[in-house]
Amino acid sequence: MIKLVGVEKTLGGQPVLRGVDLDIPAGKLTTIIGGSGGGKSVLLKHVIGLMQPDRGEVWVDGIEISRLKGRALNDVRKKFAMLFQGAALFDSLTVFENVAFPLREKLRLAETEVARRVEEKLEQVGLSGMGHKFPAELSGGMKKRVGLARALVMEPEIILFDEPTTGLDPLMANTIHDLIVGMHRTFGFTAVMVSHEIPEIFLISDWVAMLKDGKIAAMAPSADFQKTTDPAIREFISVGSMASLKS
Amino acid sequence: MLIGLIARIGHGTLFVVQEMGRMLIFLVATFAWLFRPPFRPFQILKQLHFIGFKSTFVVVLTAAFTGMVLGLQGYYTLRKFGSEAVLGSVVALSLIRELGPVLASLMVTARAGSAMTAEIGIMRITEQIDALDTMAVNSLQYLISPKLVAGLIGVPLLVAIADVVGIYGGYLIGVNLLGGNSGSYWSSIESAVEWKDVYGGILKSISFGLIVSWVCCYKGYNTRLSAEGLGAATTEAVVLSSVLILVWDYFLTSVLL
Ligand SMILES: Nc1ncnc2c1ncn2[C@@H]1O[C@H](COP(=O)(O)OP(=O)(O)OP(=O)(O)O)[C@@H](O)[C@H]1O
Ligand SMILES: [Mg+2]
């Protein structure tokens, strides 16, 4: 279970998070929505300990991680995988080696098993046969999918997805959503997703939270969230739905 | 006005002291990670190839011309005193004690050091370093430690090559072109170069190797997250590591003499 208590963070003199209180239920798919530049990526980085809060606490499975260092932090991170907004592929490694990286480094599997799992994941994200390419030779959407394969291949307890479908065509976005939901059903990991895909996220998420002005403005089960009466939230999600209808 | 000036000087001084502290912590942490498993001999070899082998050409080129110009200048100067016979020792001592280590490390800084800063800086900006950390792979251990070792091993080897090439460069000009005596060129080297000189050169090149990879890795690792930040980091890395090499060279020379 992940829990943020009063997390505040100022970056470059600009307050980004101003007291985030968030309870992320274990084994569920929770989606965080919110305006661009609102601090969603910063929030995810606090959950995995890449950023430390100026004030407040971050709890993961009963451990307060924001003051952890070295080996203790590494042990907590072994539960996680993360898909970065910019994919963050290692550009000196091929696609295959990128996806294999956590398997080799963390799980130390035999090479045949590594190859099997990597091929399987690459096929699921629609990139089979692309293993020998380097990230620089891929489109933005393809990089995103390699990043997704790298996050999913570990089958960890918690996966953070930072905008998994941004930059993909609607068909591919659907495929990726199905993949995430399918994997989530099978493995039951805790998923935290940042996404702008309104209204699709209401169909696939268990919970939805909205980050606004550096705070969690609302959090509710996906079905209830759509019925909210808060005018600001209504506006945000209805404009999103309109936009996706037009496109 | 005066108070403002004092405040600015104070700020500047504090910043420099803090930066020095951070650089030292960076170095110590990188060294500490070197001795913890998993060990990565293949990564070290790869970096050695990049820092060492791929710098061979520029280092050889620099050393050859330096040796040649030493031969030229030395020959004309020494002839005024009728002592062309010791040309070999002048060329060899200048190279082994001073020019070999300094010039080779400056060339490594320009070629490999700037590239290291840029590579690590890009990895920082594109969150590849964060990605390593989320996979519970320590980024200092995976990225920086092999480069530090490669600098420590690679630069002294390059310096050794530079010394030899430079001495032959001096021979080419002093003996083949200007007609000095071949036998006295070599015998003057043999009698003048002592173990102390070679040892001092090795010590210098090891410490310069450390300076290059330390400064360049540090600047890359702490790049500000923008394209200008990356450019600034590369410039700072090259300037700082070159200046440090020259300052440290003076210091070591005065201690070793
Ligand atoms: N490392 C950093 N240093 C300084 N400022 C930062 C840093 N990371 C993020 N910021 C700032 O924090 C704010 C929030 O950024 P963040 O990337 O979390 O937004 P976001 O909600 O993910 O937006 P988007 O939907 O566009 O991805 C922005 O103003 C950004 O400039
Ligand atoms: Mg973001």
Looking at A109, A129, A155, the residue that finishes a domain is A155
In a domain, A84, yes or no: no
Q: How far, in Å, from the CA of A16 to the mean position of ligand 2?
A: 12
The residue whose CB lies within 8 Å of the most ligand 1 atoms, and thus the one to mutate among A18, A42, A192, is A42
Chain A hits for B137, CB-CB cut-off 8 Å, are 105-106
Q: What's residue A209's pLDDT?
A: 92
Cα–Cα distance between B101 and B107 in angstroms, integer? 10
pTM of the model: 0.89
Q: Which residue of B has its CA nearest to A41?
A: B127
Q: Read off the amino acid at residue A32.
A: I
Burial category of A203 from C-beta neighbours within 10 Å (exposed 0-12, middle 13-18, buried 19 and up): exposed
Looking at chain A, the whole-number percentage of residues with pLDDT higher than 90 is 45
Q: Given A78, A84, A106, which is nearest B131 (Cβ)?
A: A84
Cα B87 to middle of ligand 2, angstroms: 66
Q: Is residue A70 part of a domain?
A: yes
Residue A172 is predicted with a pLDDT of 83
* Same domain assignment for residues A144 and A97: yes
Same structural domain for residues A40 and A161?
A: yes
Given CA atoms A222, A227, A230, A236 in this order, what sign does their dihedral have? positive
Largest CA distance in chain A: 55
Q: What is the pLDDT of residue A60?
A: 92
Question: Is there a contact between A44 and A162 (Cβ–Cβ < 8 Å)?
Answer: yes
Q: Is residue B247 exposed (0-12), middle (13-18) or buried (19+ Cβ within 10 Å)?
A: exposed
Asked whether the bond before B37 is cis by omega within 30 degrees of 0, the reply is no
Average pLDDT estimate for A176-186:
87
Q: What is the separation of C-alpha A70 from the centre of its chain, rounded to a whole number of angstroms?
A: 23
pLDDT digits (tens, 9 = 90+) for A92-141: 999 999 999 999 887 778 889 999 999 999 998 888 888 999 999 998 88
| Residue A17 confidence (pLDDT) | 93
* pLDDT score recorded for residue A178: 87
pLDDT tens digits along B225-243 = 888 899 999 999 999 999 9
Distance CA A162, CA A41 (A): 7
Report the percentage of chain B scoring pLDDT > 90. 82
Residue B224 — very low, low, confident or very high, per pLDDT cuts 50/70/90?
A: confident
pLDDT at residue A243, rounded to an integer: 56
Q: What is the DSSP string of chain A?
A: -EEEEEEEEEETTEEEEEEEEEEE-TTSEEEEEE-TTSSHHHHHHHHTTSS--SEEEEEETTEE-TT--HHHHHHHHTTEEEE-TT----TTS-HHHHHHHHIIIII---HHHHHHHHHHHHHHTT-TT-TTS-GGGS-HHHHHHHHHHHHHTT--SEEEEESTTTTS-HHHHHHHHHHHHHHHHHH--EEEEE---TTHHHHH-SEEEEEETTEEEEEEEHHHHHT---HHHHHHHHHHHHHHHH-
In one letter, which amino acid is A232? A
The number of distinct structural domains making up chain A is: 2
Cis peptide bond N-terminal to B38, omega within 30: yes
> Which residues lie below 8 Å from residue A19, measured CB to CB, with a gap of 6+?
A6, A7, A8, A56, A214, A215
Q: What percent of chain B has pLDDT over 70?
A: 100
Instruction: Parse chain B into domains and list their residue ranges.
Output: 40-256
**Which residue is it, tokens 């945000």?**
A236
Q: Report whether pLDDT(A244) > 70.
A: no
Q: Are A102 and A194 contained in the same domain? A: no
pLDDT given at position A236: 80
Comparing CA positions, the residue from A174, A223, A219, A172 lying closest to residue A22 is A219
A129 and A164 belong to one structural domain = no
pLDDT at A241: 59
CA distance B120 to B219: 9
Please say if the pLDDT value at position A242 is more than 70.
no
Please report the sign of the dihedral spanned by the C-alpha atoms of residue B131, residue B133, residue B138, residue B141: positive
Distance from CA of B12 to the nearest CA of A (A): 20
Identify the CATH number of the domain in which residue A240 sits.
3.40.50.300
* Domain, as residue range, for A183: 2-79+156-246
A102 touches chain B (CB under 8 A): yes
B251 C-beta neighbours (distance < 10 Å), count? 11
A32 lines ligand 1 (CB under 6 A): no
Nearest CA to CA, how far is B29 from chain A (Å)? 11
Give tens-digit pLDDT for B54-102: 999 999 999 999 999 999 999 999 999 988 889 999 999 999 999 999 9
Residue A245 scores a pLDDT above 80 = no
Beta carbon of A62 within 6 Å of any ligand 1 atom: no
Q: Is residue A40 part of a domain?
A: yes
**At A170, is the pLDDT very low, low, confident or very high (cuts 50, 70, 90)?**
confident
**Same domain membership, residue A75 and residue A17:** yes
- Mean pLDDT, all residues of chain B: 93
Q: Which ligand is nearest to the CA of B127?
A: 1
The reply to whether A98 and A129 lie within a common domain is yes
Least confident of A205-209, B36-40, B86-90, B238-242: B36-40
Question: Does A68 share its domain with A105?
Answer: no
Check whether residue A27 and residue A73 sit in a common domain: yes
Q: Based on the domain organization, do A113 and A235 belong to the same domain? A: no
pLDDT tens, residue by residue, B143-186 = 999 999 999 999 999 999 999 999 999 999 999 999 889 999 99
Residue A75 has pLDDT above 80, yes or no: yes
Q: Are A49 and A22 found together in one domain? A: yes
Q: Is residue A85 part of a domain?
A: no
Considering the domain architecture, whether residues A151 and A199 belong to the same structural domain is answered as no
Last residue of a domain, one of A99, A121, A155: A155
Contacts A84 to B, Cβ<8 Å: 127, 130-131
Name the residue of chain B whose CA is nearest to A49's CA. B134
Q: What residues in A contact B120, CB-CB < 8 Å?
A: none
Residue linked to tokens 């210091």? B251
Task: Write down which residue in A155, A186, A208 finishes a domain.
Answer: A155
Taking an 8 Å cut-off on Cβ atoms, the answer to whether B135 and A74 are in contact is no
Which secondary structure element, helix H or strand E, spans residue B118, and what is its range? Answer: helix B114-125
- A104 shares a domain with A13: no
In the chain, the amino acid numbered A8 is E
pLDDT of residue A196: 87
Q: What is the pLDDT of residue B244?
A: 95
Nearest residue, CB atoms, B131 vs list A75, A88, A106? A88
